[in-house]
Amino acid sequence: MNILKWMAGAVLAAALSNTAFSGTDSSVNSEWITLGTMAGPQPDPVHSQPANALVVNDRVYLVDAGDGTVGRLTTAGLNMQSIEAVFISHLHFDHTGGLPALISLRWQTGASDMLTVYGPPGTRQMVEGIFAFMAYGVEGHYGVPGKIPPPANRNVKVVELGDGESVKFEDFTLTAARNTHYSWPKGSEEWKKFLSFAYKFELPGRIIVYTGDTGPSEAVEKLARGADLLVSEMMDIDHTIALLKRVNPGMEGEVFTGITTHLSNHHLSPEQVGQIADRAGVKNVVVTHMAPGLIEPEEVEYYTRRVKALYKGPVTIARDLDRF
């Protein structure tokens, strides 16, 4: 095919599918799909809980796996049987609630490929907990006499990562960096035990960085330096607090103060998203982790304007199932 025709076709296809390919290596096709763009544990009729798919040359990787992941994968046309690996940023349940479904439904449907779950320390304990949840049902299986059920942990492996650790995959190199979703005093027992990660995916010709849930962080900024795509969390504190007050009018003062401190110290305002993107010099920003009940298009424009106050590149406020 004439190369100009091909390029015109590719540009048109990208425009139609809301896809912004920034890779330069034409032998690698990569897409980041925001499966769930919810902020936090409150259910929402429009946004699924935090989850993303990275698709590289038809291989599918999950980045966080909040409640609703299996359904969203299916809507995106991706097969839960063929997930290569899952990368969990931290062990809050809004980022992990879809894993029991993924692991147990794969077992129930006889998935034969190995699934490796990567995450911070504690990931092994969490996955062992999923096996415990499956144990009784596994034992009874489909109730066919004489059939010995395979163990729950068949085809599931866990790899716990440390701060700064890199792992080479067929399609990219992954690097984990401790972010600031927790603010344990440096060197404390809790600091050693509980980590939350941002992840960098270095593909041929394309670098993608996912912040995970985080507050402002020099480590995330450093990780994101020169990235083609920064997928960043964002927190609308006022919106979230107002929602919390509505759904939980009896919440006491101290609990409330604790959550407010968590929300403001361990998350990013739109301006802080812009600041990280600007300092890191990234080429594109995708904002995820949206407040429940997002009003379109007003709030999308409002958040975009606030991020752009500090960052001059392209900004997209992601919806579930957007592709980049």
Ligand X SMILES: O=[N+]([O-])c1ccc(OS(=O)(=O)O)cc1
**Which chain residues interact with ligand X by CB under 6 A?**
39-42, 92, 94, 213, 240, 243-244, 259, 263
Burial of 315 (0-12, 13-18, 19+ CB in 10 A): buried
Radius of gyration of the chain measured on its C-alpha atoms? 20
**Shortest distance, position 272 Cβ to ligand X, whole Å:** 15
Which tokens in the block code for residue 82?
A: 């063929």
Identity of the residue, 213 or 320, whose beta carbon is nearer to ligand X in the bound complex = 213
**Shortest distance, position 324 Cβ to ligand X, whole Å:** 22
**Shortest distance, position 40 Cβ to ligand X, whole Å:** 2
In eight-state DSSP terms, residue 290 is B
| Contact status, residue 49 vs residue 98, Cβ threshold 8 Å | yes
Identity of the residue, 76 or 259, whose beta carbon is nearer to ligand X in the bound complex = 259
Identity of the residue, 70 or 268, whose beta carbon is nearer to ligand X in the bound complex = 268
| Listed residue (234, 204, 248) closest to 299, CA to CA | 234
Burial of 76 (0-12, 13-18, 19+ CB in 10 A): middle
Identity of the residue, 223 or 244, whose beta carbon is nearer to ligand X in the bound complex = 244
**Shortest distance, position 285 Cβ to ligand X, whole Å:** 19
How many other C-beta atoms can be found within 10 angstroms of the C-beta atom of residue 183?
13
The whole-angstrom separation of Cα 223 and Cα 199 is 8
**Shortest distance, position 230 Cβ to ligand X, whole Å:** 19
How many other C-beta atoms can be found within 10 angstroms of the C-beta atom of residue 132?
10
**Shortest distance, position 39 Cβ to ligand X, whole Å:** 6
Q: Which residue pairs from 247-254 have beta carbons closer than 8 angstroms and sit at least 24 positions apart in sequence?
A: 247/42
Q: Which residue has the tokens 């792992």?
A: 167
Identity of the residue, 41 or 204, whose beta carbon is nearer to ligand X in the bound complex = 41
Identity of the residue, 39 or 315, whose beta carbon is nearer to ligand X in the bound complex = 39
**Shortest distance, position 239 Cβ to ligand X, whole Å:** 9
Element (H, E) at 56: strand 51-56
Residue least distant from ligand X (Cβ): 40
In eight-state DSSP terms, residue 211 is -
Identity of the residue, 40 or 97, whose beta carbon is nearer to ligand X in the bound complex = 40
